[in-house]
Amino acid sequence: MSKQVKIGIDLGGTRIKIGLVDKKGKVFLRREVDTPSSSSRSVIIDTIVKNLEATIKDAGLKKKDVACIGIGVPGPVDSRRGIVHYFPNIKGWNNVPLKAILERRLRIRVSLDNDVNAMALAEYTFGAGKGARNLVCLTLGTGVGGGIIINGKVYRGSTMLAGEIGHIPLNEKGPRCNCRGIACLERYIGNRYILKRARKSFGRNITLESLSGLARKGNKRAEAIWLDVAKKLSVALTAVINLLNPDMIIIGGGVSKAGDLILRPLRKELKVRPMKGQALHVKIARAKLGGDAGIIGASLLA
């Protein structure tokens, strides 16, 4: 299998995942470590290199057997030049030529993109989006991220910043977002805002898991919160659907674990709010590849 092996790296704010991925998108060997916290950039890079080399060794391979490495990272990048602009949740990464750094240390070709583009590519190629031509993938978590596939390719935009579904405004006026925008989707359904609303409604701290559990048992207050998340999401997705007329919207990320609590009311709204032709065509699907999407997508970047 020499020179057939692709490696995908999913650099997250809390975990670094490394996997050997075969041609069919199966991860046949994986390694996962904590992202060094309170650390400098070089510690994270050292951790990536060390664990990557260990993974290759574990597989009984040599570096020269590896065709290429892809890495998906949690923030905006210049994927053509392989430069990290910055990470919203990891300090000290401003304009880092990560591709060049890794290539120099590893002597293997490296490709770089942001994690949501990698996920979109994985779901398009091997997951929920198989058979679609144009799709939009979103991740619901701390932030609300988006990746766009157009005519089978990641659409990155003119300065590689496309896909910011989390920053579609839901209202003319409303709360200020971290991005400096007003009334952005993320400002309503980013997980901290859901948690805040739950705390207010229940008078105590409550996890997203409990909120889902309560809603599934029929708790009206919990149900109301998920229903509102779905409705807010449907407004932004109406914009996406009317504008892009995609085959499919794929939803992943931690918050999407609420599953049908979000998807059922979301599908209902998206049958009636977007324009008819677009609404009849688009499918709303849950991401299929779960925690492996990042690794698989990264392996497809090269």
Residues that bind a copy of itself (CB under 8 A): 76, 85, 132-134, 146, 148, 150, 155-165, 167-172, 179-182, 231-232, 235-236, 238-240, 242-247, 272-278, 281-282
Q: How far is the CB of 66 from a copy of itself (least distance, A)?
A: 31
Residue number, 17 or 167, with CB nearest to a copy of itself: 167
Residue number, 224 or 272, with CB nearest to a copy of itself: 272
Residue 18 burial class via C-beta count within 10 angstroms: exposed 0-12, middle 13-18, buried 19 and up = buried
Q: How far is the CB of 150 from a copy of itself (least distance, A)?
A: 6
Q: How far apart are CA 110 and CA 98, in angstroms?
A: 9
Q: How far apart are CA 112 and CA 9, in angstroms?
A: 10
- As beta bridge partners, residue 29 has 20
Q: Hey, what long-range contacts does 130-134 have (CB within 8 A, 24 or more apart)? A: 132/246, 132/247, 132/248, 132/283, 133/247, 134/244, 134/245, 134/246, 134/247, 134/248
Residue number, 113 or 292, with CB nearest to a copy of itself: 113
What DSSP character marks residue 24? T
Residue number, 155 or 202, with CB nearest to a copy of itself: 155
Task: Please report, for residues 136, 167, 169, 181, 244, the alpha-carbon distance to residue 239 in angstroms, rounded to integers and kept in the order given.
Answer: 12, 12, 10, 17, 8
Q: How far is the CB of 277 from a copy of itself (least distance, A)?
A: 5
Residue number, 38 or 159, with CB nearest to a copy of itself: 159
Q: How far is the CB of 183 from a copy of itself (least distance, A)?
A: 9
Q: How far is the CB of 76 from a copy of itself (least distance, A)?
A: 7
